[in-house]
Amino acid sequence: MADIIEDFPILEEARKVATYISSIEAWQEDPEWRMIALHLEKKEHLD
Protein backbone atom coordinates (compact mmCIF):
# COMPACT_ATOMS: atom_id res chain seq x y z
CA MET A 1 0.00 0.00 0.00
CA ALA A 2 1.21 3.48 -0.81
CA ASP A 3 2.32 5.83 1.94
CA ILE A 4 1.46 9.34 0.79
CA ILE A 5 3.98 10.96 3.13
CA GLU A 6 6.90 8.83 1.90
CA ASP A 7 5.74 8.68 -1.72
CA PHE A 8 4.85 12.36 -2.14
CA PRO A 9 8.30 13.50 -3.40
CA ILE A 10 8.30 10.74 -6.03
CA LEU A 11 4.72 11.47 -7.08
CA GLU A 12 5.41 15.20 -7.27
CA GLU A 13 8.47 14.64 -9.46
CA ALA A 14 6.47 12.28 -11.70
CA ARG A 15 3.77 14.95 -12.02
CA LYS A 16 6.35 17.56 -13.03
CA VAL A 17 7.89 15.28 -15.65
CA ALA A 18 4.47 14.29 -17.02
CA THR A 19 3.49 17.96 -17.27
CA TYR A 20 6.73 18.74 -19.09
CA ILE A 21 6.39 15.82 -21.51
CA SER A 22 2.77 16.60 -22.32
CA SER A 23 3.70 20.21 -23.11
CA ILE A 24 5.93 19.05 -25.98
CA GLU A 25 4.11 18.96 -29.31
CA ALA A 26 4.22 15.45 -30.80
CA TRP A 27 6.15 14.13 -27.78
CA GLN A 28 5.23 10.58 -28.80
CA GLU A 29 7.56 10.92 -31.80
CA ASP A 30 10.45 12.47 -29.85
CA PRO A 31 13.20 9.82 -29.48
CA GLU A 32 13.80 10.93 -25.89
CA TRP A 33 10.23 9.98 -24.90
CA ARG A 34 9.47 7.23 -27.46
CA MET A 35 9.91 4.38 -24.95
CA ILE A 36 7.28 5.94 -22.68
CA ALA A 37 4.90 6.30 -25.63
CA LEU A 38 5.42 2.65 -26.61
CA HIS A 39 4.85 1.54 -23.02
CA LEU A 40 1.61 3.55 -22.77
CA GLU A 41 0.28 2.00 -26.00
CA LYS A 42 -0.01 -1.33 -24.15
CA LYS A 43 -3.19 -1.05 -22.10
CA GLU A 44 -2.19 -3.91 -19.77
CA HIS A 45 0.52 -1.63 -18.32
CA LEU A 46 -2.09 0.85 -17.08
CA ASP A 47 -4.02 0.42 -13.82
For the chain, domain boundaries: 9-41
- Rounded-to-integer distance, Cα 39 and Cα 9, Å: 23
Of 12, 38, 16, 43, which is closest to residue 27 (Cα–Cα)? 38
- What pTM was estimated for this model as a whole? 0.61
What's the rounded Cα separation, in Å, for the pair 40 and 1? 23
Check residue 45 and give its pLDDT: 61
Count how many residues are written for the chain.
47
Q: Residues 1-47: pLDDT tens digits?
A: 667 788 889 999 999 999 999 999 998 888 888 888 888 887 776 66
Long-range CB contacts (within 8 A, 24+) of 9-18: none
User: For residues 8 and 11, what is the distance between their CA atoms, to the nearest angstrom?
Assistant: 5
